[in-house]
Amino acid sequence: MNSWRNTPTLVAAAILALAIIGGCSKTSGSDATDQGGDIQAKAQAECMSGQTIAAGSTLNISTTVAPITSIVANIAGGLAKITGIVPEGTNSHTFEPSPSVAETLAKTDVIFANGLVLEEPTKELAATNLPKSAALCELGTAVLPVDDYIFDFSFPKDGGKPNPHLWTDPKLAARYVNLIRDVLVKMDPANAVSYTSNAAAYTAKIDELDAAVVTASATLPAEDRKLLTYHDAYAYFAKDYGWQILGAIQPSDFAEPTAREVGDLIAQVKSSNVKAIFGSEVFPSAVLEQIGRETGVTYVDVLRDDDLLGEPGDADHSFLGLMQFDYVTMIEALGGDAAAIRNLDITDVAPDNAKYPQ
């Protein structure tokens, strides 16, 4: 998840494929190269393939990860039934839906997933249980051109899975909003005015978040805008906001690094002069804790990419609340001033009546 344009430089080459500053440029896998824009066009067509519901009916929506559930809820307001599938605090990369999810999918008009090969078991279940009139909308696959896919140490090119974490980048999250709006308007035209109004209000809030991230990032010297994280969730964010990804501890196979690899990572942190390293609330890391202790660098273990704050119904249990928390945490830990982000109004623009599995 990176803004890297220079030639990759690796720490001990074979060690976690951990890229140092300026490493890991984006590239496309073989399938993406062969099919080009067909992948995006097919995903866009599938998003718009759901049948229009009868007047007076309520749209039944399923969603995967919680940030997507929150975004959909803000656009739909209280006009649709929204059921999340992936429990919060779960590793969405390895989540296997229970058979009971099939019953939910059988009543679904449209399922909004992230795509980019994030939720394959859920897609497989949907393929056999969604009604023929329903749509499977993979938002990331539909909004991101194949040439913009990022492949890196945690999501290597030869694995065929691009980095899927588009929603941690406000600029890309705004594209999700536009597509969700278009799908809801097409499938439930009776409520088109409300969907369009909610989407406009929500986009305005995301635009404010975007501007605040730019302002707060600028309080850090360029050489301090560096991220070493456990989970590889911020590549697109880094690319769009002028940050550098030093690396991610968690490789694609979710293995733990060896003692020798940890030693190399410690040397990496010392040489980069990074002020803080970031763990994940969902993926506790003894490795990062050790690295922080042995280098004297602050270890912050509370970042989260798809686990919302608090509990359903709490004011900050939302996509905007999650992004505010992560960006404030990053910037302040690195010595910057995150007041522009901290002062944002993150309240939802419409009632969030979605079901969030815990």
Is residue 181 predicted with pLDDT exceeding 60?
yes
pLDDT digits (tens, 9 = 90+) for 45-71: 999 999 999 999 999 999 999 999 999
Q: Which of 34-38, 146-150, 227-231 has maximum average pLDDT?
A: 146-150
CA gap 174, 160 in Å, rounded: 26
pLDDT for 33 equals 43
Average pLDDT, the chain: 88
3-state SS class at 332: helix
Task: Name the residue with tokens 């009868």.
Answer: 54
Cβ atoms of 151 and 163 closer than 8 Å = yes
Is residue 330 predicted with pLDDT exceeding 50?
yes
CA gap 164, 176 in Å, rounded: 13
Amino acid type, 1: M
- CATH number for the domain running over 30-210: 3.40.50.1980
219-342 and 30-210 share a CATH fold: yes
Q: Which CATH architecture has domain 219-342?
A: 3-Layer(aba) Sandwich (3.40)
What is the pTM assigned to this prediction? 0.89
pLDDT for 35 equals 60
Among 133, 113, 139, 134, smallest CA distance to 40 is for: 139
Mean pLDDT of 130-136: 98
Quick one: residue 351, left, alpha or beta (phi over 0 = left, psi -120 to 50 = alpha)? beta
Is residue 13 predicted with pLDDT exceeding 70?
no
Ordered by start, the domain boundaries in the chain are 30-210, 219-342
Mean pLDDT of 104-127: 96
pLDDT for 7 equals 29
Cβ atoms of 17 and 156 closer than 8 Å = yes
Amino acid type, 216: A
Is residue 209 predicted with pLDDT exceeding 50?
yes
